Structure formats: structure tokens, C-alpha cells
């Protein structure tokens, strides 16, 4: 019996090792497939040539930082630092979009999660319905509205547009998070003398902090990466956000792929830094609404 048990253990051990090896092999191949385009971007950004050449291993040809110097050192006709202005535009618009979206969505999501009122279910369905249409579908009315408000070609107009399109998503994301927080915690606080607002501020908000952080991050990324609305609503180079500025390197008759790749890496740095700093909150925030307490 012991001999048979040992044989079974050895066979099972080999099977489990083989299974783990196959899983790791699949993960390595998937990671390589995902990183291969990124390696091409890095190769183009650090190469002195603007024209990519066909090769299996994307290593930089004649490594140089000239592409980054050209992109970061862009100036306008008046000699002002154009790239710095465009970077400020992107940061300003993205941060204000995240703050405005979360600031509006948080009390709305809490009300949908805790209160009963006339039209609640229809309101939720309407919010969900707005997510079915791409932002470009509302481009013409948004353009006309901003034109009437004299907010075309301005950061304030872009923040207004981005926040408008981001609020429904933020409300739905935060609603599920508030629903996962036990109502008993707030009721206990109100029994001890807290008002509804105090229970919301001192109990619900701290418990939903990871979800709020993740929602703000998504709103920030949506505004940071958006191109179509910005390219339509902005016309002056000093008003451009970074995605619109990068598009100028790809023209109808040619493309400066090296400059485009260098700019793409620079644009990616803030988002990667935020993900690195907030990775623990991201995991807990994404799963906070998965189980109701």
C-alpha cells in the first residue's frame, strides 16, 4: 500500500509541477506579447532614425535622446515653452475633471444607495443608458453649447465637457461601493447622536475611500487620454492637451514616428506613477462593491 501511495504522490507531484510550468509559460508568453509593442515604442523613442525598420528584436538604432529633447523643448513662435503649456493644460483639465466628477458623483451615489424616492429606478436606468453612447455622438451639441457660452478653445470648457461625460460612470461605480457598506454602521452613529450628514461624512466616506480614489483615477485617466473631443473643441496650439499635441507629429503626408514615440512615453509617465503609488487602493477599490456587506 505504501508503495502505491508513494507512486501516486510522485505522479501527482510531477503532474502539479508540469501544470505550474505550463501556467508560467502561458503567462510569460502573454506578458511578452503585451510588452512587445511597448518595446517598439521605446526603440523608436531612443533611436536617431524617424523611420522604423522591420526586425524581430526592437533594439534602438544609434541610441540618442534627440527625440526627447525635440519634444520637450518645443517652443511657439513667440519663444514660449509650448510643451510645458500643453503639459499644464493636460494636468489642469484632468485633475479638475476628476475633482468635479467625484465631487458631484459621491453625494448622488450615496443618495441612490441609501434613500428611496420617486424616480430613483428610472434615474438609474437613464444614467446607465448614457454609457451606451460614445462621447463623439454628443460632439455637435457640446460644440454648440460651448460656443454659446464662449468656452470654446478653453480649459474650463474642456473640464465641463469631460466632467459631464464622466459623472454617470462615477455615480454607478460609487453607488455599488456605498451599497456594500453595512447600513448598521451609519445607524449606530445616528443612535449615538450623529446626524445623517455626519454619518455620511464620518462613516460612509472613510469606508468608501478606496473606491473614491479608484473612481477619481479613472476620471483622471479618461480626461488625460481623451483625444477626439479635445481635437475638435481646441484650435490653438497653446490650448492643446498632450494627446492633441502628439497627433501633430502624424500628418497626412508623413509621420515623425520617433518624436511621436518619445512624446507617448512622456505622456505615459504621470499615469504610471499614479498607478504605482496607488496600487494598493486600486485593488481594494475595484473589489469593494463586489460583495454586499
Last residue of a domain, one of 48, 64, 80: 64
123 and 58 in a common domain? no
Distance CA 163, CA 167 (A): 6
pLDDT given for residue 248 in this prediction? 85
> Pick from 282, 274, 264, 160: which is nearest to 212 by CA?
282
Is the pTM of the predicted complex or chain greater than 0.85? no
Burial of 194 (0-12, 13-18, 19+ CB in 10 A): middle
Last residue of a domain, one of 43, 64, 85: 64
pLDDT given for residue 291 in this prediction? 46
176 and 33 in a common domain? no
pLDDT given for residue 93 in this prediction? 95
Range list of H helices, 47-182? 66-72, 82-114, 120-130, 139-148, 155-179
* CATH value at residue 163: 1.10.3720.10
Specify the length of the chain in residues: 293
For 235-293, the pLDDT digits (tens) are: 888 899 999 999 888 876 778 888 889 999 998 888 888 878 777 766 665 555 444 44
224 and 248 in a common domain? yes
pLDDT given for residue 292 in this prediction? 45
Rounded to 5 degrees, φ, ψ at 72 are -70, -25
pLDDT given for residue 103 in this prediction? 94
pLDDT given for residue 97 in this prediction? 96
112 and 55 in a common domain? no
Q: What is the helix (H) or strand (E) element at residue 264, kind and residue range?
A: helix 257-277
Residues of the chain where predicted confidence (pLDDT) is lower than 50: 8, 289-293
Number of separate domains in the chain: 2
Does 102 fall in a domain?
Answer: yes
Q: Residue 241 belongs to what domain range?
A: 70-287
Amino acid at each position: 500500500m505504501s508503495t502505491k501511495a508513494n507512486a501516486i504522490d510522485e505522479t501527482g507531484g510531477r503532474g502539479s509541477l508540469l501544470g505550474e510550468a505550463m501556467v508560467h509559460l502561458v503567462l510569460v508568453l502573454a506578458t511578452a506579447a503585451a510588452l512587445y509593442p511597448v518595446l517598439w515604442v521605446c526603440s523608436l523613442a531612443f533611436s536617431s532614425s524617424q523611420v522604423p525598420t522591420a526586425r524581430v528584436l526592437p533594439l534602438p538604432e544609434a541610441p540618442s535622446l534627440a527625440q526627447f529633447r525635440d519634444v520637450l523643448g518645443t517652443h511657439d513662435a513667440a519663444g514660449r515653452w509650448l510643451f510645458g503649456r500643453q503639459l499644464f493644460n493636460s494636468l489642469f483639465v484632468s485633475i479638475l475633471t476628476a475633482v468635479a466628477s467625484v465631487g458631484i458623483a459621491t453625494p448622488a451615489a450615496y443618495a441612490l444607495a441609501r434613500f428611496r424616492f420617486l424616480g430613483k429606478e428610472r434615474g438609474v436606468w437613464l444614467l446607465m443608458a448614457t454609457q451606451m453612447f460614445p462621447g463623439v455622438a454628443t460632439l455637435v451639441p457640446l460644440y454648440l453649447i460651448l460656443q454659446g457660452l464662449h468656452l470654446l478653445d478653453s480649459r474650463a470648457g474642456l473640464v465641463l465637457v469631460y466632467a459631464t461625460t464622466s459623472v454617470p460612470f462615477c455615480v454607478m461605480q460609487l453607488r455599488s461601493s456605498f451599497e456594500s457598506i453595512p447600513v448598521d454602521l451609519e445607524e449606530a452613529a445616528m443612535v449615538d447622536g450623529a446626524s445623517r450628514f455626519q454619518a455620511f461624512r464620518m462613516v460612509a466616506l472613510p469606508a468608501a475611500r478606496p473606491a473614491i480614489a479608484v473612481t477619481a483615477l479613472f476620471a483622471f485617466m479618461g480626461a488625460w487620454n481623451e483625444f477626439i473631443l479635445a481635437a475638435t473643441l481646441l484650435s490653438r496650439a497653446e490650448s492643446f492637451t498632450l494627446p492633441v499635441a502628439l497627433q501633430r507629429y502624424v500628418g497626412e503626408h508623413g509621420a515623425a514616428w520617433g518624436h511621436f514615440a518619445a512624446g507617448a512615453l512622456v505622456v505615459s509617465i504621470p499615469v504610471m506613477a499614479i498607478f504605482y503609488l496607488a496600487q494598493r487602493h486600486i485593488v481594494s477599490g475595484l473589489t469593494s462593491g463586489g460583495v454586499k456587506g
